[in-house]
Structure 1
Amino acid sequence: MSEIKHVYRLQGLSCTNCAAKFEKNVRDIDTVEDVQLNFGASKISIVGEASVEQLEAAGAFDGIKVLPERQKYTEEKAPFWQKRANKLTVVSLFFLIFGYISSFTIGESSPATIAVFALSILIGGYDLFKVGLKNLTRFEFDMKTLMTVAIIGATIIGEWGEGAVVVFLFALSEALEGYSMDKARQSIRSLMDIAPDTAIIKRGKDEFEIAVEDIQVGDIMVIKPGQKVAMDGQVLRGQSSITQAAITGESIPVHKEIGDEVFAGSLNEDGFLEVRVTKLAEDTTIAKIIHLVEEAQAERAPSQQFVDKFAKYYTPSIMIIALLVSVIPPLFIGGDWAEWIYRGLAVLVVGCPCALVISTPVAIVTAIGNAAKNGVLIKGGIHLEETGRLKVIAFDKTGTLTEGKPEVTNIVSLSNMSENEVLAISAAIETFSQHPLASAILRKAAKKKAAAYTADDFQSFTGKGAKAVINKTVYCIGSPKLFEEMLSIPPNVQNQINRLQSQGKTVMLVGTQEEIKGCIAVADQVRKSSLSIIQKLRKLGIEKTVMLTGDNKATGNAIGTQLGLSEVKAELMPKDKLECIKSLREQNGKVAMIGDGINDAPALASATVGIAMGGAGTDTALETADIALMADDLEKLPYTIALSRKTLIVIKQNIAFAFGLKLLALLLIIPGWLTLWLAIFADVGSTLLVVLNSLRLMKTRYK
């Protein structure tokens, strides 16, 4: 069985029913083993073999064009009213108006009037009938089948004018649906246009302009002032301010110098840079964002799954109800056949599930696209919905609520060892550690030019500290808890520890397994924005904010009090954080965990929604988190929650509009007030309301 997946982009994919039919047609191709159609991103993935011609033949009923995913193409941006289907709709409207003028002047039963209405029906409904009649012969009941039966029925009982109105309004409804999805997909297209197609590559003394697909890792890219960066890379020469709003959503330019990372799609402001390419075109951060956004839009949200399942049974049910309305009154209570057939046709028309089917996907696609443009990557409709229902948010401390760059504030000798020697011993051990506290000690040692010792046999104790052999002596550095397991901490040392911890500092002891030689206090600065973000979250309805930290209780409580957090859980090992998240979920329901996407992976995975910070520079964050805040700060968190809550409200409103208008129209059948044109007007009205309501999500802005 072939495992090779071929991905194609689609043009002309306008409605969910057409998408489902196209997917079925492709699946029926003998050489195709599996198909996945992404309606939101307008893409199809195929396992097996199928030519572009075969695929276009499968989509010929809707004029679908198929293009290989990586093929460059310029999309025709024809104005709304210049598209073929919309032109036919306008011509149909012209004949419809002319037909009503004729009915008022020479009579509605006149052959000339019927001919004009018939032209309006045939011109506006040609594409509809072509699909609807074929579906009817195959007993496939979708929206086009309903409309075809209704229009044919109307002409049979002599309601030519109303049949023409139904055709026009249905065509208008289809045009609106196509327009709305096109607007929603623009967010992805705008992302795809961010990075240039070519870059200037320097080889020796020569410079060449090369397509990004041909650039290799290690090539030297030249970026002049005002140019966009074409590939991810590392600055080799020069310095400049780079605007990376397209990637991280940060509007303020970021200063870049030798050794710093730059992203494809960012804009070089004022300096000249030479950058070593670190990733191929398909692996750049912007390429991953586009891929993940498209995958996210393919994910069906819980509300969409419900609507899709409901619609599957809804359409055949409407057909049965319409049939019963048409035949039961004439057969059993002596009703007029023409009148009740007319009412049955009205049921068919009003029962058309256009608005219901589009109610959720158009809102989800719009919201996810809007978030991506603002530097927030939401990896599926389910995560968008779950974020909108959050009650509790748990924060990792280091690098999330704090800057993540702790600095050494105190070095205290507690023996005959000098402060410089305490620092030198600590630096020798921490050379092997990746912890942020280790980096602080190494920076301090470099600044003070402390002696350089060689450490051997390094061993780390997760969440506690580390040890190594220096000058044939085993030295340890770590939390007081680590030393409590080896010896009894003297009262004077404990007092020193308590004093430093009460100031919000993290204390690390340094010594042998028999004696404490000194201690080092480190403080991590709270982010300036953290307090205002916690306050914004409260206003958005977050009931509880919790900080989870491996730090000591005194330090955790000092920061918790400063930020006004609901709860602080300190001295936690990674497994303890996981247990805390499980406990919070049991007690409070929906819980988000926010970290850097690298550490605390089990806790992020266990939370209802795992949110990673700094996704732009971290592949792990892009791959593991449910949501990635591309910039390395919390500023986008309140925006993300507000967008998610607004999306939930919009989806509920859409479903209410779709059901409410149809229910109201169906009630009008009882007194006989529901006409065919009123039925289709209710259908178009609900579709229009759903579309316009969903597009409001494009206006949601990051503040």
Structure 2
Amino acid sequence: MSSHIKTFFSTVTSNHERHHSTFVAILLKHSELISALISGLLILVVFLSKEHLPTFLFYTLMISAFVVGGFHKAKEGIQETVSDKKLNVELLMIFAAIGACIIGYWLEGAILIFIFSLSGALETYTENKSKKELKSLMNLQPETALLVTQQGTQLVEIAALNVGDHIFVKAGEKVPVDGTIIHGSTAIDESYLTGESIPVTKGKDDAVFASTINLNGSITVVVDKLPTETLFQKIVHLVQEAQQSKSPSQAFIEKFESSYVKIVFLIVGMMMVLPPFLFGWSWQDTFYRAMILLVVASPCALVASVMPATLSAISNSAKNGILAKGGVHLENLASIQAIVFDKTGTLTNGTPIVTNQLFAEHVNKTRIIQMVYTMEKHSNHPLAKALITWCEQEYNVETLSLNNVTHVDGLGVKTMVDGEEWRIGNAIFVGKEKAEDFCQHLQNIAACSHVFVAKDEQIIAMFTLQDTIREDSRNAIHELKALGIEPIMLTGDNENTARAIANQLGIDHYKANCLPTDKVNEINKLKQKYKNIAMTGDGMNDAPALATANVGIAMGTGSEVAIETADVILIKNELSKIIRTIHLSKKMNRIIKQNIIFSIAVILTLILANFVQMLDLPLGVIGHEGSTILVILNGLRLLSKAETPV
């Protein structure tokens, strides 16, 4: 009994320690945000009860708000100043807050600290999200492979593989590295790389790529590239490289920040020394005016010019099924000149359906449909599923009793019934020349996938299957053109299919047969022509392009990697939401410009009034804080339904 008790208490202790460590990890991860919120709560308490607080308690709460809220930003500002040897806005905000305290305005100083600490917390959150994106991308790659040896197969880490090694890939497994099939045939799901939902038939001497899925046949593959040099690893590198590069607006803000801080510190320093000699001011007045300058010149209103407007726009868009990961992405949408679309799952629904059927003369259609329905139930191929769905929807079909249906890897299914051989599969399976003769009079056949039915070497039916265009795709393309934005399609599908889809949607520019690296190269070329490019996609193969574009837009039903990498997510999968978001972006940018111009004008006016001694401290604080409140209220207008773009 004692051993059971010990085990129980050991388990309880272990669970407690695990939960405690998890709780501590969460606190550390969000410590910056928690500190900002605690600082804001302390400020709120003081603001609501400052008339009734004892002096000691007032100063205790204010100092606590300063220390808790300002610790991270002060630490960051000091470290960056030491490492970069440049002044930054973090130091200016800290000195401005201290200056406000020196002249008796503790609450205003604490508010400056709170606003800046909150913006820092949001910045840290964005960085953590970026790390999570790459981690989720890496999780898609297999960690082990079955190495073929003279003794059989051996499970090894993929890092131990070398070029020329033979590996065995079972049905249902992911291909661990790039290579060439030397034995076997199968259907490969390459949707992670090409975005196409229809698997590709692969046989001897065909190339396969890391992280694609071997659907239904065992294959032996010779390794062509080291695990660190695969196409999948190139995708990871491209995403990482694009995320680390700075946008022009971000670089400009950083440059402006350094110059602004230097100018303010220089002017404040001069104002603390020169006025007694130039204008005969007393040293008390000089220090007083210098502290007012430090307070009114702090960019509190400038900071508030952007954040409330962007948060309001993000909230507004979220209510309408659009998730933007930051205000900068919404801001960039207003200036895009072209938008690139992936085809499958973005412009189209991403799942094939039966669009046409052709039967030979004098055949029993009901019998054929029953055979197709029954035999395809033995296959897990997406085209088989589409045929089964079609049979169920269009016909009151019954399942036949077939016990000897054989699956032929990468080709189709076959069976023997009453001495007759039935085959259902691709053109190679039933005879390529016979298949071409059977469907030669059909138009646009190359833009479809086709499944043939043969009985005793004679083709008796054919089904064409095609991905279908989303209902709102045409309207979205038309509205984009009306806005002067050029729609462009990049797809991993073949030329004929790409041309057919582009013609149906009215897209003038497209490129077919694109691998992820091709899409990135095309977007970089388009950037030179159009300056600002948006990319819309849904697959893992779109992740590098989404990261490379100025704005990446993912469909809500897309892959986890696409959603994590993108800047904007269409939760409701409606392309029309892109148009709405562009209108919202333009509205947000107008409000931000209004706020910036107004806040700069107020700062300059207050500085000038202080210099000619027409501004006392209370009026300076009212002007400074009043301008901050006004720009916040102006930004919050985007929360109103009346301000929602049509």
Tell me the TM-score normalised to structure 1 length. 0.52
CA separation in 1, counterparts of 2:513 and 2:599?
Answer: 52
Gaps of 5+ in 1: 11-33, 45-55, 66-79, 93-118, 154-162, 185-299, 460-465
Please show how residues 188-203 of structure 1 align to structure 2 within 5 Å.
Answer: none
CA separation in 1, counterparts of 2:490 and 2:462?
Answer: 24
Q: Is 1:146–2:96 an aligned residue pair?
A: yes
Cα offsets for 1:290-343 (capped at 9, x unmatched): xxxxxxxxxx99867865786577557534422311312423675554554443
Please show how residues 125-274 of structure 1 align to structure 2 within 5 Å.
Answer: 143=93, 145-146=95-96, 148-149=98-99, 152=102, 170=108
Letter in 2 for 1:534: I
Matching residue within 334, 338, 363 for 1:392: 338
Asked if the contact 1:391/1:588 (under 8 Å) is kept, the reply is yes
Using the TM superposition, give the Cα deviation of residue 636 of structure 1 relative to its aligned residue in structure 2, in angstroms.
2.5
Matching residue within 444, 449, 463 for 1:520: 463
Q: What SS is found at the alignment partner of 1:646? A: helix
Using the TM superposition, give the Cα deviation of residue 174 of structure 1 relative to its aligned residue in structure 2, in angstroms.
6.5
Using the TM superposition, give the Cα deviation of residue 684 of structure 1 relative to its aligned residue in structure 2, in angstroms.
1.5
CA separation in 1, counterparts of 2:280 and 2:255?
Answer: 38
CA separation in 2, counterparts of 1:662 and 1:321?
Answer: 14
CA separation in 1, counterparts of 2:256 and 2:519?
Answer: 40
2:474 is matched with which residue?
A: 531
Asked if the contact 1:303/1:360 (under 8 Å) is kept, the reply is no
Asked if the contact 2:480/2:486 (under 8 Å) is kept, the reply is no
CA separation in 2, counterparts of 1:670 and 1:655?
Answer: 22
Using the TM superposition, give the Cα deviation of residue 490 of structure 1 relative to its aligned residue in structure 2, in angstroms.
5.4
Q: What SS is found at the alignment partner of 1:327? A: coil
1:637 is matched with which residue?
A: 578
Letter in 2 for 1:146: A
1:458 is matched with which residue?
A: 409
CA separation in 1, counterparts of 2:66 and 2:399?
Answer: 83
Q: What SS is found at the alignment partner of 1:494? A: coil
Cα offsets for 1:535-591 (capped at 9, x unmatched): 33345x452112345666666555544543343445667776566555544543433
Asked if the contact 1:614/1:632 (under 8 Å) is kept, the reply is yes
Alignment CA distance shift 1:301-1:609 (3 Å): closer
Please identify which structure carries the higher helix content: 2
Asked if the contact 1:636/1:702 (under 8 Å) is kept, the reply is no
Matching residue within 656, 676, 693 for 2:597: 656
Matching residue within 417, 426, 445 for 1:477: 426
Matching residue within 533, 551, 558 for 1:591: 533
Please show how residues 552-567 of structure 1 align to structure 2 within 5 Å.
Answer: 556-557=498-499, 559-567=501-509
Q: Is 1:681–2:631 an aligned residue pair?
A: no
Q: What SS is found at the alignment partner of 1:546? A: strand
Please show how residues 49-60 of structure 1 align to structure 2 within 5 Å.
Answer: none
Asked if the contact 1:366/1:694 (under 8 Å) is kept, the reply is yes
Alignment CA distance shift 1:174-1:620 (3 Å): closer
2:301 is matched with which residue?
A: 355
CA separation in 2, counterparts of 1:43 and 1:150?
Answer: 21
Alignment CA distance shift 1:302-1:429 (3 Å): farther
Asked if the contact 1:315/1:351 (under 8 Å) is kept, the reply is no
Using the TM superposition, give the Cα deviation of residue 691 of structure 1 relative to its aligned residue in structure 2, in angstroms.
1.1
Asked if the contact 1:91/1:123 (under 8 Å) is kept, the reply is no
Asked if the contact 1:391/1:542 (under 8 Å) is kept, the reply is yes
Please show how residues 567-606 of structure 1 align to structure 2 within 5 Å.
Answer: 567-570=509-512, 580-581=522-523, 583-585=525-527, 587-597=529-539, 600=542, 603-604=545-546, 606=548
CA separation in 2, counterparts of 1:416 and 1:579?
Answer: 53
Alignment CA distance shift 1:628-1:427 (3 Å): farther
Alignment CA distance shift 1:429-1:497 (3 Å): farther
CA separation in 2, counterparts of 1:484 and 1:670?
Answer: 91
CA separation in 1, counterparts of 2:379 and 2:524?
Answer: 33
CA separation in 2, counterparts of 1:607 and 1:621?
Answer: 13
Gaps of 5+ in 2: 1-17, 79-89, 123-245
CA separation in 1, counterparts of 2:485 and 2:585?
Answer: 16
Asked if the contact 1:409/1:521 (under 8 Å) is kept, the reply is yes
Q: Is 1:85–2:46 an aligned residue pair?
A: yes
Q: What is the root-mean-square deviation of aligned Cα atoms in Å?
A: 5.4
Alignment CA distance shift 1:595-1:346 (3 Å): closer
CA separation in 1, counterparts of 2:567 and 2:431?
Answer: 39
Asked if the contact 2:492/2:515 (under 8 Å) is kept, the reply is yes
Alignment CA distance shift 1:568-1:586 (3 Å): same
Asked if the contact 1:307/1:357 (under 8 Å) is kept, the reply is no
Alignment CA distance shift 1:123-1:690 (3 Å): farther
Q: What SS is found at the alignment partner of 2:292? A: helix
1:646 is matched with which residue?
A: 587
CA separation in 2, counterparts of 1:172 and 1:149?
Answer: 11
Please show how residues 289-368 of structure 1 align to structure 2 within 5 Å.
Answer: 314=260, 318-331=264-277, 337-368=283-314
Matching residue within 530, 542, 546 for 2:488: 546
Letter in 1 for 2:639: M
State percent identity of aligned pairs.
Answer: 31
Asked if the contact 1:506/1:552 (under 8 Å) is kept, the reply is no
Using the TM superposition, give the Cα deviation of residue 695 of structure 1 relative to its aligned residue in structure 2, in angstroms.
1.3
CA separation in 2, counterparts of 1:313 and 1:127?
Answer: 34
CA separation in 2, counterparts of 1:485 and 1:601?
Answer: 39
1:268 is matched with which residue?
A: none
Q: Is 1:506–2:481 an aligned residue pair?
A: no
Matching residue within 547, 550, 554 for 1:612: 554
Asked if the contact 2:515/2:541 (under 8 Å) is kept, the reply is no
Using the TM superposition, give the Cα deviation of residue 418 of structure 1 relative to its aligned residue in structure 2, in angstroms.
6.8
Please show how residues 10-25 of structure 1 align to structure 2 within 5 Å.
Answer: none
Letter in 1 for 2:303: V
Letter in 2 for 1:458: D
Using the TM superposition, give the Cα deviation of residue 369 of structure 1 relative to its aligned residue in structure 2, in angstroms.
3.3
Asked if the contact 1:423/1:441 (under 8 Å) is kept, the reply is no
1:692 is matched with which residue?
A: 633
Letter in 1 for 2:579: P
Asked if the contact 2:475/2:576 (under 8 Å) is kept, the reply is no
Using the TM superposition, give the Cα deviation of residue 351 of structure 1 relative to its aligned residue in structure 2, in angstroms.
1.5
